[in-house]
Structure 1
Amino acid sequence: MVTVISTPASWHNPRRWLALGALVMSMLVLGFDTTILNVALPTMAEQLGASTGEQQWMADAYVVVFAALMLPAGLLGDRFGRRRMLIGGLVVFLAGSVAGALADDVNWVVVARALMGVGAALITPLAMSVLPSLFAPDERGKAIGLVSTGSALGLPLGPIIGGWLLEHFWWGSVFVLNVPMVALAIVACLVLLPETSDPASPRIDTLSAAFTTGGLGALVYAIIEAPERGWTDPLILTLLAAAAVLLTGLVLRSRREERPMLDMGLLAHRGFLFNAIAATLVMFVLSGLLFVLPPYLQSVLGNDTLATGVKLLPLVLGLSVSAKLAAPVADRFGARATVTGGLVVLAFAALLGARTTTQDGYGFTALWLAVAGLGFGFALVPSMTGALTALPADRAGSGSGLLLTLRQVGAAVGIALLGSLLSNAFRDRLDVTGLPSATADTAGDSVVAAHLIAEKAGSLHLAVSANDAYVHGMTLVLLVCGIASLAAALLAAAFLPGAPVAPRTGGAGVRMASVKADA
């Protein structure tokens, strides 16, 4: 085994675009799995008897583990080889997908999703961190944009593909979809990617990793369980306090380390910090929306699973158009104007959607979904690209891991917080007068459960009340999304650089990529 230091000649290998295709495919799969389960949740709630809280855990187990492990995962790749760890992540993700397809219990679904989150945590930062070894600085922004777009497009495509699968197969098919795609990505990475590493990367700090995992896990668990137990419940207060202590400990420990796992110095780069904040808030809104929309389309509007997925197409189309136009628009008008404009459009769409009533048909929903898709693309793609191109080249793994950790934290908190807001509002608004106590509690678990009970009891009143309660909760969620988007727009307008930050080049970038070849 011989170690060869990469030179600019390696940036012009024609196979680099095929390698990029493998990375985009990997990120697309991860995007699918962030949201593909959402459209299956009503079906799984019916067949597995899952409450709204359990549905949140099935959705959030993936993103919580994903977010909590991404920082140490980036360092593992820096230290032991990015291709090796990327392939390892794909294998773990494949194992989790198989386990999910075979699960027949809510708890096992949660375990499978958590295992997939472990794989995703390895895949995501490493897919980004190999790019400097494949592309010269003048092509790197385009490559980052394509990988980011693949991830972003996977989010709204997940429910559509999931809907088609559920229409033709059982709910476990949403996991089976991953198997051929991940297997192909593994082969492509083995054949096309060079092995790169950074021997000077910091050691894996197990205490910091424990702080990250424990802090985020406690925070999200508290948010999900609070509507059921109450925000003043001793367990919830203990978990929130533990999350605050653990995350504070992470920050304090990181400030003392010479080369910490959580590099707070990266946040000193204005372009990185505020682009990361914008991307995080966009993911908060997007993940929350994609959690609350499928039950509305399926239970309130009466669509089957395939139609539910298809009726999210306006969001996909809007996102596809704006993702394609985002780079030239940012080149013409500047990154600050593009991201700010996207966030304002997103806020308008959310506030428009908040006007939804139970009497509105799908046409109104399609309108504001298309507008939301435009806002997502113009806000997310330039903010991700701007943040990633601002990273120091010699911190590719851990730096991109920090950015993507923040983005996944936004997604996890979005599902947890907005899902809990919806659950609380639904339970408070639902009229269960005349129902036995146990039945009333079950009806309050979710709109799916309320409709099942209404159907068995022949109660039109309960079905109407369930629809009204769900739309009321969705309205509150959309109002919060609109306010969060406006706040992010103000931050972007005030603090983002007017143009993308040029990537750093030079010796650090060359030193970072050590390409291993068999002797």
Structure 2
Amino acid sequence: MSDQPAATPDPLAAPPNRWRILVAVLFGLFAVNVTVTILAVSIHRIAGEFGTAESTMTWVVTGPMLAFGVVGPLVGKLGDRIGMRRIYLWGLAGAAVMSAASALAWSAGALIAFRTLGAIEGAATGPASFAVISRIFPKEERVRALGYWSMVAAGAPVVGVVIGGPLVEAFGWRALFWGQVPLILTAFAFAFRLFPETPKHLTGKFDVAGAALIAVGVTPLLFALNEGPRIGWTAPIVLASLVLGPAALYGFVRVERVAEQPLLPLRYLRVPGFTYAIVTQAVLNGAYMGSFILTPLLLQNVLGYSETKTGLVSIARPLAFALAGPMAARVVHRVGARKAASGGSVAVVVALVAMATLGASSTVLMVMACLALAGIGMGTAMPPLAASVTVSVEEADYGIAGAAQQMMIQVGVVFGITVMQSVQQTRLPAVGLEASYHWGYAAGVVLAAASVLTATRIASTHRSEAALHPETEPLPAL
């Protein structure tokens, strides 16, 4: 039996208060996501407080990233079944509880566990907000609205990296999470009042087997990517993860082919507008965030910047992203989504090439110009990529589409950070400290260049009217 709703007027179609809903939704998304990476520049300080190794404390950052990637598809599909409002509010409430628990953490293990559990709760806000924005905004406004969504979803963790060091120096890391609690509760109050309910699709069975297999498939691969460079690619646990992950993903595909209500409808993988858009997002975010982690190390280890100065200089990137994201709609109007996404990817490539020339003699202005260009490129590319996904799937699957994006972005981020840091560390003995960063950025150039190629296959036309109404042009065949 089909679970598609009858052809009746959609109560969520362009409500007059849709921009107020957008502000409330994005405030909650920011409140949850800003602390995902906020401790990245303070791992050494926290490790000293708990008397543990820095390598153990890196899981304060990578644990939440893994949770976001694995849990996203599950909560996205669950939201499609029970309603996005309920999922979003549950996510905010759980994130508030885990933030308070993080502030009370008594050991490294407790902090890692609470941060990871908080990310699991917070992961619900991404697919839910994506689905609601995609439904309440008409096509002529959707690219602009998704520009703000992309800015917050990808920008909040970046802002966390920027402000983490100075805030920890001034107030201590526990104060960050105590401060997050009222922030999330405020977001909950606004969302409770304004967040609309979405249609529920309750027919069929929940894909429990698919949910388990995607978790078992993605988690070991991300673990191997994260731990392989540190403990060795031939370590038994890494080799086992590299075998288990693909095997589980193969089982996931087999299960999804026969599932009554699949977690991820595989038919969408045959739609270029969906597949190439999420692949581009993953690869581009990998290069972007990989460089964002390398740059503070370069500034501190080679240029001698303090944590506070590093954070202030790094503001250039999220600020440029924030300005470029909402303006992407105008770019799409003029050149179409394909060219906008491809052009944004090219800008990231150029920025990484420039970063590969930075060294001890580089000025603050040079560094900020490189970072700003990367932010402009990402802010331009992400909205048309997100819009390509929305026009490539059925409305009933907006939640799982948003979750698929979230999962692929997190996989790409972990992959990009790992590859670029691994290349930098591998080249360090041969070429020295400064030149080793050039090699790390060069790996990012390769990733970003790959995103330029995949961006040319997303759903779009060459004219602005068709870009806003993609159904007027048939999707290209694979």
Whether the 8 Å contact between 1:83 and 1:196 is mirrored in structure 2 is yes
Deviates more, 1:50-59 or 1:407-416: 50-59
Asked if the contact 2:50/2:108 (under 8 Å) is kept, the reply is yes
Which residue of the other structure, out of 107, 113, 119, is the alignment partner of 2:115?
Answer: 113
State the secondary structure of the residue aligned to 1:33.
coil
CA separation of 1:9/1:110 partners in 2, compared to 1, >3 Å: closer, same or farther?
closer
* CA displacement, residues 307-356 of structure 1 (integer Å, 9 cap, x when unaligned): 22111022123223322332111210111111111111111111221122
Distance 1:5 1:53, change over 3 A: farther
1:255 paired with 2:257, answer: yes
CA separation of 1:472/1:91 partners in 2, compared to 1, >3 Å: closer, same or farther?
farther
- 1:372 deviation in Å? 1.4
1:502 to 448, 469, 475: 469
* 1:103 to 1:52, Cα distance in 2 relative to 1, 3 A: same
Letter aligned with residue 27 of structure 1: L
Q: Deviations over 1:219-270 (max 9, x none)?
A: 1222222223321222221110011111121122112224310222112222
The Cα of 1:134 is off from its aligned counterpart by 3.2
- Alpha-carbon distance between aligned partners in 2 of 1:343 and 1:406, rounded to the nearest angstrom: 17
Name stretches of at least 5 consecutive residues in structure 2 with no aligned partner: 1-5, 473-478
The correspondence for 2:437, drawn from 474, 488, 496, is 474
Task: Give the 3 Å change call, closer, same or farther, for CA 374–50 of structure 1 in structure 2.
Answer: farther
| Match among 304, 310, 315 for residue 313 of structure 1 | 315
User: Structure 1 424/61 Cα, relative in aligned 2: closer, same or farther at 3 Å?
Assistant: farther
The equivalent of 1:492 in structure 2 is 455
TM-score of the aligned structures, taking structure 2 as reference length: 0.88
- What's the CA shift string for 1:163-218, capped at 9, x where partnerless? 34223200223333421221111111111122223224653322222212222221
Please give the alpha-carbon distance, in whole angstroms, between the structure 1 residues aligned to 2:14 and 2:258: 40
User: d(CA) in 2 for partners of 1:126 and 1:420?
Assistant: 35
Greater CA deviation, 91-100 or 495-504?
A: 495-504
Aligned equivalents of 1:48, 1:294: Cα separation in 2:
24
AA in 2 matched with 1:487: A
1:265-284 alignment, distance < 5 Å: 265-284=267-286
Contact in 2 for aligned 1:163/1:309 (Cα 8 Å)? yes
Aligned partners of 2:57 and 2:435: how far apart in 1? 19
Q: Matched residues in 2 for 1:494 and 1:227: separation?
A: 33
Residues in 2 aligned to 1:423 and 1:49: alpha-carbon distance in whole angstroms: 25
* 1:323 alignment partner, one of 316, 322, 325: 325
Rate the CA distance shift 1:271–1:209 in 2: closer, same or farther, 3 A: same
Counterpart position of 1:194: 196
Out of 10, 13, 16, the position equivalent to 1:14 is 16
Output one character per residue of 1:480-512: Cα deviation in whole Å (capped at 9) or x when no partner.
11111111112223565335363779xxxxxxx
Please name the residue that 2:475 is paired with.
none
Structure 2 vs 1, CA of residues 490 and 307 (structure 1 numbering), >3 Å: closer, same or farther? Answer: same
Which residue, 133, 147, 150 being the options, matches 1:148? 150
**Does structure 2 retain, via aligned residues, the 8 Å contact 1:392–1:504?**
no
Q: How far apart are 1:478 and its partner, in Å?
A: 0.9
Aligned-partner Cα distance in 1 for 2:13–2:381: 29
Q: 1:55 to 1:501 in 2, by over 3 A?
A: farther
Identity of aligned residues (%): 26
- Work out the CA distance in 2 between the residues paired with 1:71 and 1:312: 32
| Unpaired runs of at least 5, structure 1 | 431-467, 506-519
Cα displacement (A) at 1:24: 0.9
Could you give the per-residue CA deviations for residues 118-156 of structure 1, whole angstroms, max 9, x where no partner exists?
Answer: 112211101112235533444444333322222233233
**Rg bigger for which structure?**
1
- In structure 2, the residue corresponding to 1:36 is in which secondary structure? coil
CA contact (8 A) 1:56 1:416 kept: no
1:93 to 95, 109, 130: 95
Partner of 1:125: 127
Give the aligned partner of residue 75 of structure 1: 77
**Matches of 2:53 and 2:298, distance apart in 1:** 16
Q: 1:201 to 1:9 in 2, by over 3 A?
A: closer
3-state DSSP of counterpart to 2:34:
helix
- Match in the other structure for 1:456: none
**Cross-structure match for 1:162:** 164
CA-to-aligned-CA distance 1:395-425 (integer Å, 9 cap, x gap): 1212222222212221232334434444555
* CA distance in structure 1 between the aligned counterparts of 2:94 and 2:117, rounded to whole angstroms: 7
For the residues of structure 2 that align with 1:374 and 1:133, how far apart are their CA atoms?
27
Counterpart for residue 444 of structure 1: none
CA deviation after TM superposition for structure 1 residue 276, in Å: 1.5
- Partners in 2 of 1:327 and 1:16 — Cα distance? 17
Amino acid at match of 2:469: A
The whole-number CA distance in structure 2 between the counterparts of 1:24 and 1:249 is 36
